């Protein structure tokens, strides 16, 4: 869960948007002192002000109040001794190993690692792994899994929407998570991943794709239902300037939540096209 108070969230978002307290106040027709009081947590915005404030800060009212629906939803799913997604790594992990075998401690970033099965698998193979998820419950189980397997993974809780890599990675990986990135932010997000990839590195990503003939998964979150799924081919477009190792669309059966259903997924493994003479 996000532990920031509403005032801190307002201040953080305002600064991210490059607004002064005065500019935000003008957008809302209030005094800058009111904004200052919110940010110092000495007063809360009026309930009636919340929708307007959320629009001005490009966020939802839930987000403004520090409530992350996805985190709450996944905390519930992961609140069990069993591993919701099982313990076997995603198939894409084996393709990643073929592309960049762990001949040295390559740095892997797993975004939205869930209960950590893939991150722990990579660590067992000899990679240096950093992994995060929005669900604190997922992170706790992931840490337990790493301990059980006697490997170290740098696990932490973070929201992919606010996350900016602090480092370059050799492998940037994410499976089944990127529909939580709002569509208008996706190009910028992929550009940031590309620029945080080392010269020999790869990005390995898969995304759930909308198909009119595939009904919404029965255990899908509100976000998934609200059609944040990707368009077929959208992911490949953002990587048009990279070399593709894997570029595929598949429909597969899934039994998550113990209810059989189908998903459509686009999978991309791509690496930078180096200038002639360097590769
Ligand atoms: C379908 S699961 C995939 C988990 C894991 N990657 C796997 O393949 O087993 C989606 C994951 O995305 C996480 N998630 C949802 N919204 C997120 C966000 N805004 N930031 C980071 N993780 C998020 C959920 O907590 C959940 O663990």
CB distance 236 to 268 below 8 Å: yes
**What pLDDT score was predicted for residue 221?**
61
Q: How far apart are CA 196 and CA 202, in angstroms?
A: 10
**What pLDDT score was predicted for residue 276?**
60
Question: If you take atom 27 of ligand 1, which residue's CA is the nearest one?
Answer: 114
Structure tokens at 143: 């840490």
**What pLDDT score was predicted for residue 161?**
87
Residue 275 CA to ligand 1 center (angstroms) comes to 35
CA 2 to chain centre: 14
Q: Does 226 score more than 70 pLDDT?
A: no
- Could you give the domains of the chain? 6-67 (1.10.260.40), 76-272 (3.40.50.150)
Sorting pLDDT into bands at 50, 70 and 90, what band is 71?
confident
Among 141, 172, 177, residue to substitute to test ligand 1 (most atoms within 8 Å of Cβ): 177
The finding on whether 156 has its CB within 6 A of some atom of ligand 1 is no
**In the predicted model, what is the mean pLDDT of residues 264-278?**
82
**In the predicted model, what is the mean pLDDT of residues 58-68?**
78
The pLDDT > 90 percentage for the chain reads 72
CB distance 169 to 141 below 8 Å: no
The finding on whether 120 has its CB within 6 A of some atom of ligand 1 is no
Q: What is the pLDDT of residues 139-190, one digit of tens each?
A: 999 999 999 999 999 999 998 987 888 899 999 999 999 999 989 899 999 9
Q: How far apart are CA 177 and CA 133, in angstroms?
A: 9
The finding on whether 78 has its CB within 6 A of some atom of ligand 1 is no
Structure tokens at 136: 């604190």
Q: Does 82 score more than 90 pLDDT?
A: yes
**In the predicted model, what is the mean pLDDT of residues 118-132?**
98
Among 114, 174, 186, residue to substitute to test ligand 1 (most atoms within 8 Å of Cβ): 114
Burial class (CB in 10 A: 0-12, 13-18, 19+), 178: buried
Q: Does 227 score more than 70 pLDDT?
A: no
**In the predicted model, what is the mean pLDDT of residues 244-260?**
90
Residue 229 CA to ligand 1 center (angstroms) comes to 14
**What pLDDT score was predicted for residue 232?**
96
Among 63, 133, 257, residue to substitute to test ligand 1 (most atoms within 8 Å of Cβ): 133
């Amino acid at each position: 869960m996000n532990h920031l108070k509403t005032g801190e969230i307002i201040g953080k978002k305002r600064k991210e948007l490059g607004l002064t307290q005065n500019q935000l106040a003008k957008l809302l027709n209030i005094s800058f002192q009111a904004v200052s009081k919110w940010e110092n947590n000495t007063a809360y915005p009026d309930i009636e002000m919340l929708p307007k404030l959320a629009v001005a800060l490009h966020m939802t009212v839930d987000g403004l109040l520090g409530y992350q629906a996805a985190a709450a939803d996944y905390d519930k799913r992961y609140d069990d001794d069993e591993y919701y997604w099982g313990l076997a790594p995603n198939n894409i992990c084996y393709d990643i190993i073929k592309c960049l075998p762990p001949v040295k401690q390559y740095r892997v970033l797993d975004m939205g690692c869930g209960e950590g099965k893939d991150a722990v698998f990579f660590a067992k193979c000899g990679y240096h792994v950093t992994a995060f998820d929005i669900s604190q419950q997922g992170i706790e189980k992931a840490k337990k899994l790493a301990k059980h397997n006697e490997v170290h993974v740098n696990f932490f809780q973070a929201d992919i929407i606010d996350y900016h890599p602090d480092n370059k990675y050799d492998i940037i990986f994410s499976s089944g998570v990127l529909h939580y990135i709002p569509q208008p932010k996706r190009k910028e997000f992929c550009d940031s991943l590309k620029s945080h990839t080392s010269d020999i590195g790869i990005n390995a990503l898969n995304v759930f794709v909308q198909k009119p003939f595939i009904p919404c998964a029965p255990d899908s979150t509100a976000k998934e239902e609200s059609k944040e799924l990707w368009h077929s081919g959208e992911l490949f477009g953002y990587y048009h300037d990279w070399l593709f190792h894997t570029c595929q669309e598949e429909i597969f059966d899934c039994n998550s939540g113990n209810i059989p259903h189908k998903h459509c997924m686009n999978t991309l493994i791509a690496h930078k096209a180096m200038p002639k003479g360097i590769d």
